[in-house]
């Protein structure tokens, strides 16, 4: 994976940047996990190579853009640090995982931090196929954007496997559940077969592997059940258990090295051992102790970092190494904000290159309308949505074709309204029957249970709120007006009363 342009003259700078002679460097962060010390070493040598900003890719990797005059220095430094990297290539895709949401968002019963690390430790090779590791109870990270998609099953330490060919869109379900400690070895066997010129077709791959190797597995007893998609708000300071996690998002998808070095130093000072990157090109830092909260706020203030963007702005994914998609996203978000368009339950992907892949329930694809000598002279946009608006679906439904850029925002709003109307019609009957009858004068008093509309955290007077030092038996009306949701800091007046039978506890 080590690369030197002098040894690879046939790999030029990226075509989009040939006029400026820039190279794109990719450094994989397996599972989206990186230690502060490791990241600090990378950032330090990148800074000396005059890199000022970096990005995190949709497969949770670290991306740097380096001027050709500095590439030799940076390569030498990375080699000395024994850090694998690629230049202008994507031969070794990063292993992505849902670890970034572990603990802080809804997760399974047995899939823990140690289990993710156990899986990653089984990989003794650098995969050339895309590998996804997913908790089946979350929807923060995609399930099927990989070629080898491992998804946790109800059986502890066993995983479903769904295979997608490298140049295909069909999913093949593996007939067995795979044991945690076998994932790396089986991935290597599958990759060797799938990438071989004489490799078996996916339909008969199972028989070939079973014939030539033994691995620990269980029979597939029940079908995979995935949760409905809901993108949690992943930015800012948020409480979980007795600590705080911090989500960091940048509107231009770029983080300054100066800011990230401050983050690394503070993590090491406060004994935080991991930083997580997400498929939404953001960062999550877990385990912040209350006594260090002020220092984290200081770092954000020092670097002028805003951590309260609108939720609809966070629900977008663009391609790596391109500013075109980011600029288009800004225009569309601005239109959505201006028209107060409801986007709850949707996520959006922008594709400006034909062979790239983005994750979203709504997909915006750019294509050339007129080309001359294989160069696009004029472009239009096609608007798609996934089946049932589920971003994990592999089936795309065309909504509008051949849109000029000026018409794209209006048609996007129209599609959002179609989704909202469809969702309202599907839940109309349920919402009608779920409204409780008002109690009679002689009936029992209402439970007085209130729920946060943003994260669904519940305040129940019977239990109080230990995190806010509210003793059991305290009525919601008796809470101070300064009371906020212990999870996401939503103010008291925005919380709504719910019937006890319809309450979901998190």
What contacts 495, CB < 8 A, 6 or more positions away?
450, 451, 452, 453, 459, 476, 485
Grouping H, G, I as helix, E, B as strand and the rest as coil, residue 418 is helix
pTM value > 0.85: no
Query: DSSP characters for 77-116?
Result: HHHHTT---EES--SSPPPEEGGGGTTTS---SS--HHHH
How far apart (Å, rounded) are the C-alpha atoms in residues 261 and 297? 15
Q: What was the pLDDT predicted at 375? A: 76
Q: What was the pLDDT predicted at 497? A: 85
Strand-pair category, 131-134 with 96-97? parallel
CA dihedral 181, 183, 186, 188 (to 10 degrees): -110
How far apart (Å, rounded) are the C-alpha atoms in residues 328 and 409? 10
Q: What was the pLDDT predicted at 143? A: 96
Residue 383 CA neighbour count, 13 Å, CB half: 15
Degrees to nearest 5, angle at CA 34 with 33 and 40:
160
Provide φ and ψ at 188, rounded to 5°. -65, -40
Q: Split the chain (506 residues) into runs of 10 and give each run's mean pLDDT.
A: 42 46 96 98 97 97 96 97 95 97 83 94 96 95 96 96 90 95 96 88 86 92 91 93 93 97 98 97 96 96 94 94 92 95 95 90 92 78 95 93 96 95 70 44 58 78 80 87 80 78 43
Edge-to-edge strand ranges of the sheet holding 362-372: 316-318, 348-351, 362-372, 375-386, 396-403
Q: Residue 31 pairs with which residues in a beta bridge?
A: none
Retrieve residue 283's tokens. 């960062």
Degrees to nearest 5, angle at CA 283 with 278 and 287:
110
Q: What residue ranges define each of the domains in the chain, with the CATH number in brackets?
A: 15-87 (3.30.70.980), 106-219 (3.30.413), 236-304 (3.90.480.10), 313-433 (3.30.413), 449-502 (2.20.28.10)
Answer yes or no: are the C-beta atoms of 238 and 104 closer than 8 Å: yes
- Is residue 504 classed exposed, middle or buried when 0-12, 13-18 and 19+ CB atoms within 10 A define those classes? exposed
How far apart (Å, rounded) are the C-alpha atoms in residues 209 and 203? 12
Answer yes or no: are the C-beta atoms of 105 and 28 closer than 8 Å: no
Q: What was the pLDDT predicted at 487? A: 75
How far apart (Å, rounded) are the C-alpha atoms in residues 329 and 319? 11
Q: What one-character DSSP code corresponds to residue 396?
A: E
């Amino acid at each position: 994976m080590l690369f030197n342009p002098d040894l690879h003259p046939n790999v030029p700078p990226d075509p989009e940047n040939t006029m400026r002679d820039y190279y794109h460097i990719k450094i994989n962060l397996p599972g989206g996990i990186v230690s502060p010390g490791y990241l600090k070493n990378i950032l330090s040598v990148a800074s000396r190579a005059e890199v000022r900003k970096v990005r995190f890719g949709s497969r949770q990797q670290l991306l740097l853009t380096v001027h050709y005059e500095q590439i030799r220095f940076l390569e030498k430094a990375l080699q000395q640090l024994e850090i694998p990297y690629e230049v202008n290539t994507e031969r070794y895709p990063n292993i992505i995982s849902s670890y970034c949401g572990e603990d802080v968002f809804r997760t399974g019963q047995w899939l823990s931090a140690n289990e993710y690390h156990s899986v990653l430790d089984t990989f003794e090779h650098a995969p050339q196929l895309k590998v996804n590791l997913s908790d089946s109870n979350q929807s923060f990270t995609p399930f099927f954007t990989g070629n080898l998609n491992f998804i946790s099953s109800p059986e502890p330490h066993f995983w479903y496997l769904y295979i997608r060919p490298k140049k295909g869109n069909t999913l093949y379900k593996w007939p067995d559940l795979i044991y945690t400690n076998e994932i790396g070895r089986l991935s290597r066997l599958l990759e060797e077969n799938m990438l071989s010129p004489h490799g078996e077709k996916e339909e008969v791959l199972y028989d070939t592997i079973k014939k030539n190797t033994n691995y620990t597995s269980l029979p597939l007893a029940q079908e995979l059940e995935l949760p409905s998609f809901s993108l949690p708000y992943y930015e800012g300071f948020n409480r979980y258990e007795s600590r705080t996690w911090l989500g960091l998002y940048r509107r231009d998808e770029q983080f300054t090295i100066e800011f990230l070095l401050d983050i690394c130093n503070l993590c090491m000072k406060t004994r935080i051992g991991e930083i997580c990157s997400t498929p939404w090109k953001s960062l999550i830092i877990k385990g912040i102790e209350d006594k260090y909260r002020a220092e984290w706020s200081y770092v954000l203030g020092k670097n002028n970092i805003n951590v309260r963007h609108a939720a609809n702005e966070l629900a977008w994914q663009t391609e790596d190494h391109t500013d075109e998609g980011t600029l288009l996203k800004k225009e569309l978000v601005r239109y959505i904000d201006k028209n107060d368009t409801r986007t709850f339950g949707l996520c959006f992907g922008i594709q400006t290159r034909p062979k790239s892949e983005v994750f979203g329930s709504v997909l915006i694809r750019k294509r050339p309308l007129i080309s001359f000598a294989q160069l696009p002279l004029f472009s239009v946009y096609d608007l798609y949505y996934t089946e049932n608006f589920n971003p994990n679906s592999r089936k795309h439904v065309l909504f509008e074709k051949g849109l000029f850029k000026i018409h794209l925002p209006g048609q996007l709003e129209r599609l959002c309204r179609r989704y909202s109307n469809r969702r309202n019609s599907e839940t109309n009957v349920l919402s009608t029957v779920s409204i409780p009858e008002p109690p009679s004068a002689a009936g029992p008093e209402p439970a007085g249970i209130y729920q946060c509309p943003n994260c669904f955290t519940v305040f129940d007077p019977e239990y109080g709120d230990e995190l806010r030092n509210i003793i059991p038996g305290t009525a919601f009306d008796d809470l101070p007006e300064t009371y906020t949701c212990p999870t996401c800091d939503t103010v008291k007046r925005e919380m709504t009363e719910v019937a006890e039978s319809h309450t979901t506890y998190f």
